[in-house]
């Protein structure tokens, strides 16, 4: 089967050389039983490639099961993958087959494999090495003949270095890697994809198709598309429903594009000066809290110096001038905060030493709790998304399983 025939069969749109290379690799490995690891950003279309591999293989008549590892709570993922025996844990009222048993003779697709807990990674490694597994609560070894295709949107080498993913499992899965290019690297395909989506939605909603003006087409290709093909399709659907004028200008399109997608939180930011290291939202929060605490300590030192009358020390004078300038430039920097756990009484403006002894000084009460801040963020995200954990987890920049664990840990329901 040619690449063009594969694209037609599986609905793949685009002529990017990187995309066609990925399709060609999938076509070549399909005839084998080796494990494949698919790399690509969220929304880039990774889920299509396991289907290509399965349908072009000798296992095409066997089961095909897709599992989102990041959406299964940590406490139940072993049961979901490998099954369990009756009475093996609270609520196990009967025996249950896991995905590896059900998919025997076929293919199992493990999406977001980087989210697997370490204990589950050990079990998965055994399946890859020997085809054997144990049900939860059982001592009887079972065999399975399953081809594993995995996908991830995280940097696996960083996960390995951080102790979050086993190196031996990585090399077992990564027998053949397939890299799916992000949409921003497929600029010639963007307008083609938009026209296809606009035509599909026009037919579905029985409206005339959208027509992009040249400046709008240019904006589409210049935009970075952090959500990749999924985001482009979502915007095409929104515009197909909401826009009465079917001719789309640049100004109209700007209303549907986030203005600065690289700095929106919660997101993973990259510091170019630190070799591409990732800074999570939690680390940003730590930095804000530590900076706030440092400012509080500096202010207390300033007040103490004034009360002691140590106005002739050069080091103290320099600190005094810096903090006073900072206070003049941004008074709210020291006396305002949205955190209800940090209570700061407004400082009394210091008087010159010649006016007499200082009778009043700033009182700072610090209650800086990272746990409380985490609870607050989780509650806000759940409230914003009306209790939908998947959307809340995406808002917080963590997996749904991690959110589920945090909710149980903090008693949030």
Per cent of the chain over pLDDT 90 is 57
Q: At residue 173, does pLDDT exceed 90?
A: yes
357: buried, middle or exposed (CB in 10 Å: 19+, 13-18, 0-12)?
A: exposed
Tens of pLDDT, residues 297-328: 766 666 666 555 544 455 555 555 555 555 55
Tens of pLDDT, residues 177-236: 999 999 999 999 999 999 999 999 999 999 999 999 999 999 999 999 999 999 999 999
Q: At residue 73, does pLDDT exceed 70?
A: yes
**Sign of CA pseudo-dihedral 305, 310, 313, 318:** positive
Residues 99, 89: Cα–Cα separation, whole Å: 19
Tens of pLDDT, residues 94-126: 889 999 999 999 999 999 999 999 999 999 999
pLDDT band at 241 (very low <50, low <70, confident <90, very high): very high
Q: Is the peptide bond before 266 cis (omega within 30 degrees of 0)?
A: yes
What pLDDT, on a 0 to 100 scale, did the predictor assign at position 24? 96
Q: At residue 257, does pLDDT exceed 50?
A: yes
Q: Which of 86, 74, 164 is nearest to 118 (CA)?
A: 164
Q: At residue 346, does pLDDT exceed 60?
A: no
Name the more confident of 105 and 364. Answer: 105
Across the chain, mean pLDDT equals 81
Name the more confident of 67 and 74. Answer: 67
Radius of gyration of the chain (CA): 28
Q: Which of 197, 183, 249 is nearest to 16 (CA)?
A: 183
């Amino acid at each position: 089967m040619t690449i063009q025939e594969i694209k037609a069969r599986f609905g793949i749109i685009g002529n990017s050389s990187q995309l066609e290379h990925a399709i060609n690799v999938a076509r070549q490995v399909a005839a084998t039983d080796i494990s494949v690891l698919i790399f690509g950003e969220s929304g880039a279309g990774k889920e299509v490639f396991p289907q290509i591999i399965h349908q072009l293989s000798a296992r095409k008549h066997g089961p095909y099961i897709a599992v989102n590892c990041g959406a299964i709570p940590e406490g139940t993922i072993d049961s979901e993958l490998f099954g369990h025996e009756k009475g093996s844990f609270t609520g196990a009222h009967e025996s249950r087959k896991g995905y590896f048993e059900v998919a025997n003779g076929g293919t199992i697709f493990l999406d977001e494999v980087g989210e697997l807990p370490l204990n589950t990674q050990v079990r998965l490694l055994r399946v890859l090495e020997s085809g054997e597994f144990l049900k939860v609560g059982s001592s009887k070894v079972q065999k399975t003949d399953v081809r594993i295709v995995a996908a991830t949107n995280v940097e696996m080498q960083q996960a390995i270095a951080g102790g979050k993913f086993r190196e031996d499992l990585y090399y077992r899965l990564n027998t053949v890697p397939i890299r799916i290019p992000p949409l921003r690297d497929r600029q010639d395909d963007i307008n083609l994809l938009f026209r296809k989506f606009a035509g599909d939605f026009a037919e579905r909603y029985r409206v005339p198709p959208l027509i992009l003006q040249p400046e709008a087409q240019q904006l589409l290709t210049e935009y970075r598309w952090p959500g990749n093909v999924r985001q482009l399709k979502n915007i095409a659907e929104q515009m197909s429903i909401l826009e009465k004028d079917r001719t789309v200008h640049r100004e109209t399109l700007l209303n549907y594009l986030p203005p600065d997608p690289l700095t929106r939180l919660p997101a993973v930011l990259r510091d170019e000066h630190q070799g591409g290291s990732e800074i999570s939202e939690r680390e940003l929060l730590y930095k804000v809290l530590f900076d706030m605490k440092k400012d509080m300590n500096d202010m207390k030192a300033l007040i103490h110096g004034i009360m002691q009358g140590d106005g002739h020390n050069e080091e103290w004078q320099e600190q005094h001038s810096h903090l006073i300038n900072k206070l003049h430039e941004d008074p709210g920097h020291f006396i305002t905060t949205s955190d209800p756990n940090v209570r700061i009484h407004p400082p009394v403006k210091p008087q010159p030493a010649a006016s007499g002894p200082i009778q009043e000084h700033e009182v700072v009460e610090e209650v800086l709790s990272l746990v409380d801040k985490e609870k607050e963020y989780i509650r806000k995200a759940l409230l914003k998304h009306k209790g939908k954990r998947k959307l809340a987890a995406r808002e917080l920049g963590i997996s749904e399983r991690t959110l589920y664990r945090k909710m149980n840990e903090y008693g949030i329901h």
